[in-house]
Structure 1
Amino acid sequence: MVGREKFNAELHQVQNLMLELSNMAINTLNESIDYLLASDIEGALTVINNDIHINRMDEEINDRVILLIAKQQPVATDLRRLMVLIKAASDMERIGDYAVNIAKETIRIGKDEHIAPIHLLDEMRVKTIAMLKQILDAFMNEDIEEAKKIAKLDDEIDAMYGYAIKTLLSVGVEQPAQLSQITQLSFVCRYLERSADHATNMAERVLFLLKGKHYELNN
């Protein structure tokens, strides 16, 4: 196998690992909200325990990319592609961390009845998961037009986040004894909003890869 073919084969392996990591992180985030809505403590514990797999895949992507750079000494677009892979893997690993944080809030709330309009979190979850899947497709396909659409979706999630927090605070005023749960659910909203921010980061990485310069999509 000649040098270029070997590079492409090893790059393809790293990209497949990135796809696996991303799907696991997105599915874990989705499940973490399922467990919250169902007050499923055992399910929340599985999210926490399984996070080690996401972390290990992120580390493996980093190791493989560094080895590829050392062995192949890529330049220009190839080097950007490898650096973008490392950063995008880090974005997805952080989404896995947010799923863990949501699971911890689920455990803190326990079996207590949800006194807030929990459907707002579910609506945020649906929009966020759709956004993450969309940017993953754009990232893997290096589709710059689809990547540009992510900023608008991020604005929509930001608006949903603002409305959810406002609603939670209103409930807190009416039921001050439930301030602890209100705080925990507010954190969950924040973790979803931050997950959407990482999708925007990945969109910006697609633009950097294909255009060779940095863009900020959420300004």
Structure 2
Amino acid sequence: MPTRQKFDHELEDLRLKILTLGKMAEQQIALAVNSLINQDLELANSIVVKDLELNDLRADIEETCILLIATQQPFARDLRKLVAGFKISIYLERMGDLAVDLAKVSIRIGQEKLIKPLVDIPRMSGIVQEMIRIGLKAYVDEDCGAAAEMSLMDDEIDKIYSGVFGELKTIMMENPNNVTQANYLLFASRFLERLGDYCTNIAEEIVYICNGKRMDLNE
């Protein structure tokens, strides 16, 4: 097999691994939020265990990137693809870690009656999951324009988080008995807000692949 063809094949294998990692992270987030909404402790614990698979796949992606850089000595756009792919895998693994943190919130709240209907947390999660899907497609298509869309979606998550923060603060002030659970729900909202930031970090890597420029889309 010609050298270029072999390298392209290896790049495609790398993309598939990153797509798999992204889908796993998205599923972990969805399940974590479901465990919180339904107070499903068994599901929450399964998310913690599943995270080990994400960690292993991220490590495999790292080894692949290092091997390709060492053996193929890519430059320009090819090198950017490897660097960006490696960084995207790190962000996706960290998103998996935040899904675990969400699951642990479910475990800590346990079967205690929820102090408020969980409306905004699923809304934030839905936007995050959509951002992941857009980001993964944009990564494959090298679609720089999708970065702007993801940034706007992150702004929406930030607005929802700000509203949740104010609501939970009021709940804590009105009834000190609700402080502990309100703090847990605040942590969950903060984790989702952070997930939106990681999605925009992925968008930044897509921009980097396209034009070699570093942009801060979290500003």
TM range (shorter): over 0.9
Q: Determine helix, strand or coil for the equivalent of 1:144.
A: coil
Structure 1 residue 149, shift from structure 2 partner = 1.3
Letter in 2 for 1:100: V
Q: C-alpha separation between the residues in 1 aligned to 2:75 and 2:132?
A: 29
Trace 1:43-54 onto structure 2 (pairs within 5 A): 43-54=43-54
Structure 1 residue 31, shift from structure 2 partner = 0.7
Structure-1 residue corresponding to 2:177 = 177
Using the size of structure 1 for normalisation, the TM-score is 0.98
Structure 1 residue 129, shift from structure 2 partner = 1.4
Q: C-alpha separation between the residues in 1 aligned to 2:145 and 2:42?
A: 41
Give the gaps of 5 or more residues in structure 2.
none
Q: C-alpha separation between the residues in 1 aligned to 2:131 and 2:159?
A: 14
The 8 Å contact of residues 139 and 147 in structure 1, kept in 2 or not, is answered as no
The 8 Å contact of residues 135 and 202 in structure 1, kept in 2 or not, is answered as yes
Trace 1:135-214 onto structure 2 (pairs within 5 A): 135-214=135-214
Letter in 1 for 2:50: N
Greater shift in the superposed pair: 157-166 or 123-132: 123-132
Cα deviation per residue 1:25-66 (whole Å; 9 max; x = unaligned)? 011101100010000000000000000000000000000110
Q: Determine helix, strand or coil for the equivalent of 2:145.
A: helix
Runs of 4+ residues over 6 Å off in structure 1: none
Letter in 2 for 1:215: M
Q: C-alpha separation between the residues in 1 aligned to 2:129 and 2:33?
A: 11
Q: Alignment identity in percent?
A: 35
1:80 equivalent to 2:89? Answer no
Q: Determine helix, strand or coil for the equivalent of 1:149.
A: helix
CA RMSD of aligned residues (A): 0.9
Q: C-alpha separation between the residues in 1 aligned to 2:19 and 2:127?
A: 20
Letter in 2 for 1:152: L
Q: C-alpha separation between the residues in 2 aligned to 1:22 and 1:2?
A: 30
The 8 Å contact of residues 116 and 182 in structure 1, kept in 2 or not, is answered as no
Q: C-alpha separation between the residues in 2 aligned to 1:190 and 1:140?
A: 29
Structure-2 residue corresponding to 1:125 = 125
Q: Determine helix, strand or coil for the equivalent of 1:143.
A: coil
Q: C-alpha separation between the residues in 1 aligned to 2:217 and 2:75?
A: 26
Greater shift in the superposed pair: 22-31 or 132-141: 132-141
Structure 1 residue 117, shift from structure 2 partner = 3.5
Structure 1 residue 218, shift from structure 2 partner = 2.6
Q: C-alpha separation between the residues in 1 aligned to 2:214 and 2:130?
A: 25
Give the gaps of 5 or more residues in structure 1.
none
Letter in 2 for 1:205: E
